[in-house]
A and B are shown apart, each in its own frame.
Chain A
């Protein structure tokens, strides 16, 4: 019983072991690396698996991975066909410190069973410039600067600010080299750079003899530099590390056995892989400023050789319609750095920020390409407009002068669109406008009051005529008035003058009546003489005559008071005498005497 159980266990174990044996998951990597060296670690599974789990690479820097790849192989052995699929999971690690470390195992699931890979021990040694291979020579072979060196060269010794130059790195070698990597790249300060190394093709190799030695030359990097400041700019060295294969020179073997030498390579004469750092020399370039004389205003930094064109998609449109205008600069030079000048549009044209597209390519002549600026513009008003051409200025370093190019000018016709008025309201914006629009205009007036356009009265002939007529009326009225006045005045004068005469005549008549003793006629005539005299002299109308008026008028004329009184007395006496008793003749005579006397006196004063 025990035996059977033992056998069963043994078989099962064998089976299990066998099953285990069919799956192979192993790790592949170098056993010895140098500090700082990059190396590859791969996990190989001989079949399909799932859920690959990477381990922790604790003492290494993981640079990349996992990368997986598959390969399959078919084996026909003795008629039996075996197909094998191999899955590889790779990592790129870098050794960061010295010592002995273990690359841990990775796990993967195969047929629902987790499988672990093998592990590997790696020794990380200090960089001593050489890795000892199988040979074990005491003095490690070394690589001199003569065997491998790096040369940097520029295609120009001097350039203008903004002019492109090409920097080429070439490696010269007499030994086979491999595994080139950049240890330290220069900063290229003061330059705008673009790497134009052709990575797709194979590295060009050629031979050249220098200083009596034949070298292989390969161009490993090409960079376009565009200087951004003037002066002497220096490009720092480029640091490259590579592995050179140095033949192990056994002193015993040297030169003695040509057969051995001949077959040395084929027979696998040992090579030593020597790590070599090569540095290029610093290289400088003189950067010139562009001439200030004749530098146009429109120059904004374009250097090279260019053409400048423009296209427009329509020249006739309605207002508020958009159109597109595109400006293109193409040629060789600092395409990516230059700016397309902003065009000027008429007022009331809404311009949006342009869409800029750049296409560059590089060839043996350097960088070239095109840059397009596409503007979308909306005219907000109607009318005809001439778009002023845009100027583009660049500096041609080959000819050392500035070149100004003009785009085409366009003549636009913009028609009024239906909603142009509404955009007017947008312009008029602001709270004030909105308030007013809310109310409507007043309604029309119903009474027309139409009349033909009337002529202006002011300063017209009619106007002046009326003025003149009025003045004439005025003047003539005055004249007439004055005349009448004069006439009257004359009348008065005349009466005045005649007064004395008339009075005298009347008195004479009165005397006559006195003589014939005609009392009634005497008194009548005498009275008349006095009153008449006074009336004429003083210009008092007969109807106004009275004692009081006479007194007043005489005083007004400054007749002395006694004469006035005498006159008044006389007048009174005249009245009384008519009816008073007494000798008529005597009375008359007295009165007469008195009358003459008074009149004579008054005459003097009037």
Chain B
């Protein structure tokens, strides 16, 4: 019986590994096609890996590059943004995204960010969502140990030391929990989107009879703020708000 179980587990593991290596092979093949300037073939392979449920920043970044070379800037931007979500500190992704953004129709002046918000965001980007979650657990564990010593300390000196260490650790733990929570929520939500229709008029209300507010073109990034009845309420980088049909964008 035991032998059977073991063998089953081994076979499953092997399958898993094989599946993984198959995708790796496909990835390598797609890269090869990219280097041969056969970008459309490369895109097809990249997308097939993604449709199998595999993700990684390099995969999405490469897909973005391939679309870029095919002059499909909206899809390039979509993939770069998805890659950036997984690897926010990556310079290559950031720079390629900037180049793609310069080639789309709309030029939006973003509202300058409050410097503290920027710091916070940059700090949060140092680890992934799960990274922060793990760190928060570790810090909490250490905090408990410190608490333990605090309660069982005989000497005042030790107690004092434990007290301050404990406070510091508590602060760090809270921070990491907040980061973990924010990043996890960000990863889970799909609150950002890229416009995919060549031209769309953004309205003041979720219906086609609303007043025309402004016009957006494909490749522009929008933030989804609300949703009702087939319409999304969106906000663009300069703060303007309006409604557009949900079918006009791809969310990520």
> Contact residues of A with B, CB < 8 Å?
346-348, 381-383, 416, 420-421, 424-425, 427-428, 430, 432-433, 436-437, 439, 441-454, 456-459, 463, 466-467, 470-471, 473-474, 477-478, 481
The answer to whether A444 and B198 have CB atoms under 8 Å apart is: no
Pull 26 A–B residue pairs with CB atoms less than 8 Å apart, ordered by A: A382-B198, A383-B197, A424-B103, A424-B105, A428-B102, A437-B103, A441-B99, A442-B95, A448-B27, A449-B59, A450-B54, A450-B55, A451-B20, A457-B129, A457-B133, A458-B133, A458-B183, A459-B181, A466-B137, A467-B137, A473-B144, A474-B147, A474-B148, A477-B148, A478-B148, A478-B151
> Assuming the A-B contacts A445-B62, A463-B137, A466-B137, are A433 and B96 also in contact, with contact meaning beta carbons closer than 8 angstroms in the complex?
no
In the bound assembly, the distance between CA atoms of A243 and B235 in angstroms comes to 87
Question: How many residues of B are in contact with the other chain, CB < 8 A?
Answer: 60
Question: With contacts A448-B27, A452-B53, A477-B148 known, what are 17 further pairs, Cβ within 8 A?
Answer: A381-B217, A416-B198, A433-B102, A439-B99, A441-B68, A442-B95, A444-B34, A445-B58, A446-B58, A448-B24, A448-B28, A451-B54, A452-B55, A453-B55, A456-B133, A458-B133, A458-B180
Kindly identify which residue among A425, A458, A471, A477 contacts B129, using a CB–CB cutoff of 8 Å: A458
Question: In this complex, what residue of A is CB-closest to B62?
Answer: A444
Residues of B within 8 A of A427 (CB): 105
> Contact residues of B with A, CB < 8 Å?
20, 23-24, 27-28, 31, 34, 49, 53-59, 61-62, 65-66, 68-69, 71, 73, 92, 95-96, 98-100, 102-105, 107, 129-130, 132-134, 136-137, 140-141, 144, 147-148, 151-152, 180-181, 183-184, 187-188, 197-199, 201, 215, 217
In the bound assembly, the distance between CA atoms of A348 and B130 in angstroms comes to 45
The answer to whether B49 and A450 have CB atoms under 8 Å apart is: yes
> Assuming the A-B contacts A424-B104, A441-B68, A450-B56, are A470 and B187 also in contact, with contact meaning beta carbons closer than 8 angstroms in the complex?
no
Residues of B within 8 A of A441 (CB): 65, 68-69, 95-96, 99-100
How far in angstroms is the closest Cβ of chain A from B19?
9
Residues of A within 8 A of B73 (CB): 421, 424
The answer to whether A420 and B54 have CB atoms under 8 Å apart is: no
In the bound assembly, the distance between CA atoms of A420 and B198 in angstroms comes to 10
The answer to whether B199 and A347 have CB atoms under 8 Å apart is: yes
Question: In this complex, what residue of A is CB-closest to B132?
Answer: A458
In the bound assembly, the distance between CA atoms of A439 and B98 in angstroms comes to 11
Kindly identify which residue among B28, B49, B58, B144 contacts A474, using a CB–CB cutoff of 8 Å: B144
Residues of B within 8 A of A430 (CB): 107
The answer to whether B102 and A471 have CB atoms under 8 Å apart is: no
How far in angstroms is the closest Cβ of chain B from A381?
4
Question: In this complex, what residue of A is CB-closest to B180?
Answer: A458
How far in angstroms is the closest Cβ of chain B from A469?
10
Question: In this complex, what residue of A is CB-closest to B20?
Answer: A450
The answer to whether A445 and B140 have CB atoms under 8 Å apart is: no
Residues of B within 8 A of A444 (CB): 31, 34, 58, 61-62, 65-66
The answer to whether B61 and A445 have CB atoms under 8 Å apart is: yes
How far in angstroms is the closest Cβ of chain B from A5?
109
How far in angstroms is the closest Cβ of chain B from A383?
5
Question: In this complex, what residue of A is CB-closest to B90?
Answer: A445
Residues of A within 8 A of B59 (CB): 448-450
The answer to whether A449 and B152 have CB atoms under 8 Å apart is: no
In the bound assembly, the distance between CA atoms of A430 and B23 in angstroms comes to 43
> Assuming the A-B contacts A442-B95, A458-B130, are A432 and B144 also in contact, with contact meaning beta carbons closer than 8 angstroms in the complex?
no
In the bound assembly, the distance between CA atoms of A577 and B204 in angstroms comes to 110
The answer to whether A449 and B102 have CB atoms under 8 Å apart is: no
Question: In this complex, what residue of A is CB-closest to B91?
Answer: A442
Residues of A within 8 A of B217 (CB): 381, 424
In the bound assembly, the distance between CA atoms of A439 and B95 in angstroms comes to 11
In the bound assembly, the distance between CA atoms of A595 and B181 in angstroms comes to 73
Closest 4 A-B residue pairs measured CB to CB?
A445-B58, A457-B133, A458-B184, A458-B133
In the bound assembly, the distance between CA atoms of A466 and B56 in angstroms comes to 27
Residues of A within 8 A of B197 (CB): 383
In the bound assembly, the distance between CA atoms of A458 and B124 in angstroms comes to 14
The answer to whether A428 and B107 have CB atoms under 8 Å apart is: yes
How far in angstroms is the closest Cβ of chain B from A468?
11
The answer to whether B151 and A451 have CB atoms under 8 Å apart is: no
How far in angstroms is the closest Cβ of chain A from B220?
12
Residues of B within 8 A of A420 (CB): 198
Residues of B within 8 A of A457 (CB): 129-130, 133-134, 180, 184
Residues of B within 8 A of A382 (CB): 198-199
How far in angstroms is the closest Cβ of chain A from B235?
20
Residues of A within 8 A of B95 (CB): 441-442
Residues of B within 8 A of A452 (CB): 53-55
The answer to whether A428 and B152 have CB atoms under 8 Å apart is: no
The answer to whether B103 and A451 have CB atoms under 8 Å apart is: no
The answer to whether A450 and B27 have CB atoms under 8 Å apart is: yes
Residues of A within 8 A of B53 (CB): 452-453
Residues of A within 8 A of B183 (CB): 458
How far in angstroms is the closest Cβ of chain A from B75?
12
Residues of B within 8 A of A436 (CB): 98-99, 102
In the bound assembly, the distance between CA atoms of A460 and B100 in angstroms comes to 36
How far in angstroms is the closest Cβ of chain A from B208?
10
In the bound assembly, the distance between CA atoms of A447 and B61 in angstroms comes to 11
Tell me which of B58, B66, B201, B215 has the highest count of chain A C-beta atoms within 10 A of its own C-beta: B58
In the bound assembly, the distance between CA atoms of A441 and B57 in angstroms comes to 16
The answer to whether A381 and B65 have CB atoms under 8 Å apart is: no
Question: In this complex, what residue of B is CB-closest to A425?
Answer: B103
Question: In this complex, what residue of B is CB-closest to A446?
Answer: B31
Residues of B within 8 A of A425 (CB): 103
The answer to whether B103 and A428 have CB atoms under 8 Å apart is: yes
In the bound assembly, the distance between CA atoms of A348 and B148 in angstroms comes to 70
The answer to whether B137 and A347 have CB atoms under 8 Å apart is: no
How far in angstroms is the closest Cβ of chain B from A107?
78
The answer to whether A456 and B184 have CB atoms under 8 Å apart is: yes
In the bound assembly, the distance between CA atoms of A487 and B61 in angstroms comes to 64
The answer to whether B199 and A449 have CB atoms under 8 Å apart is: no
Residues of B within 8 A of A421 (CB): 71, 73
Tell me which of A347, A437, A442, A459 has the highest count of chain B C-beta atoms within 10 A of its own C-beta: A442
In the bound assembly, the distance between CA atoms of A6 and B34 in angstroms comes to 121
Residues of A within 8 A of B147 (CB): 474
